[in-house]
Amino acid sequence: MEQLLRAQLHTKTLRAFGSSGGGCISEGYAYYTDTGPVFVKVNRRAQARQMFEGEMASLEALRNTGLVRVPKPMKVIDLPGGGAVFVMEHLKMKSLGSQASKLGEQMADLHLYNQKLREKSKAQQNTVGCGAEDAEPRGVTKFGFHTVTCCGFIPQVNEWQDDWPTFFTRHRLQAQLDLIEKDYADRETQELWSRLQVKIPELFSGIEIVPALLHGDLWSGNVAEDEQGPIIYDPASFYGHSEFELAIASMFGGFPRSFFTAYHQKIPKAPGFDKRLLLYQLFNYLNHWNHFGREYRSPSLGMMRKLLR
């Protein structure tokens, strides 16, 4: 692999440093190169290129807002024996702590970014003498993303939809439940889902949802900080409901209260927030069931029963 990296990165220097590590999905290595330190993710699955290309597109989208700090993506490279590697900027990170409040503010700003783009575009269109050639990006009006992204190793369909409940039900919940049906044929899950899916539109009654650019997998293992401030990484981005982002952030610990306080000072909770949060947490439990096995069956079914009350 190191010979391949030297050739693809056009570097004579390729010296490993630190200790290699692995997350739940990929292995990670750090190298010094002629142009600076890089971090290399390695995955030997057949769909690794698709997974890494989705991550690269996500990092680019987040980085282009100028509102959150992410590692600069560099290159996806196929491995000769199968799989791929993803090369990005190496950042020396530590666990999120003192920067949690700042990250909460930044995530709220990120979630408001597309809405502000749309408002600015509308104002420009209503300004006399402002030609189309002068207009800045107009913002996104639908829910989805321009490419497939993976939450863990599961590809997510991001086909554009006008309606958020339709997008979320079809491309997130139903997609996860289809995998569970294929692997487990769990009758109780299907019975609960048949009752729950007809109730989902009620949870969104009376609220307006503007597409927001999301990190898409904002758990504590995908956030950090350094001396310059907070950092987010390993995204699975798409344009969706901003509340979706907070579900996994509130599930497994690691986010201090100050993160949520700072976030909600900029984006207050809308009516029905708490029950919708359960719906979004259901997606994460189902995704964990598909990744890690039946230990997540019980919390998945428990969440479905809560939503049916």
Which DSSP symbol is given to 202? G
Asked if pLDDT for residue 130 goes beyond 70, the answer is no
Q: In 10 A of CB 68, how many CB atoms?
A: 20
pLDDT at 254: 83
d(CA 173, CA 194): 12
The set of catalytic residues is 217
pLDDT at 121 over 90: no
pLDDT of residue 138: 78
Q: Is 296 helix (H, G, I), strand (E, B) or coil?
A: helix
Q: What is the pLDDT of residues 93-117, one digit of tens each?
A: 999 999 999 999 999 999 999 999 9
Query: Residue 183: pLDDT band by 50, 70, 90 thresholds?
Result: very high
**CA 26 to CA 152: how far, in whole Å?**
9
**What phi and psi values does residue 194 have, to the nearest 5 degrees?**
-60, -30
Q: What angle do CA 218, 219, 220 make, to 5 degrees?
A: 125
Mean pLDDT confidence for 120-147 = 76
Which single residue is written with the structure tokens 């997540």? 296
pTM over the 0.75 mark: yes
pLDDT 10s digits, 218-277? 999 999 999 999 999 999 999 999 999 999 999 988 899 999 999 999 999 999 999 999
Cβ-in-10-Å burial (0-12, 13-18, 19+) of 8 comes to: middle
206 pLDDT above the threshold of 70: yes
29-38, 113-122, 209-218: lowest mean pLDDT where?
A: 113-122
How deeply is 129 buried, as exposed, middle or buried, from its count of CB atoms within 10 A (0-12, 13-18, 19+)? exposed
Q: Tell me: pLDDT of 194 over 90.
A: yes
H or E segment to which residue 58 belongs? helix 48-65
pLDDT digits (tens, 9 = 90+) for 33-79: 999 999 999 999 999 999 999 999 999 999 999 999 999 999 999 99
Beta bridge partners of 28: 21, 41
Tokens of 69: 């700090």
User: Rounded CA gap, 56 and 75, in Å?
Assistant: 8
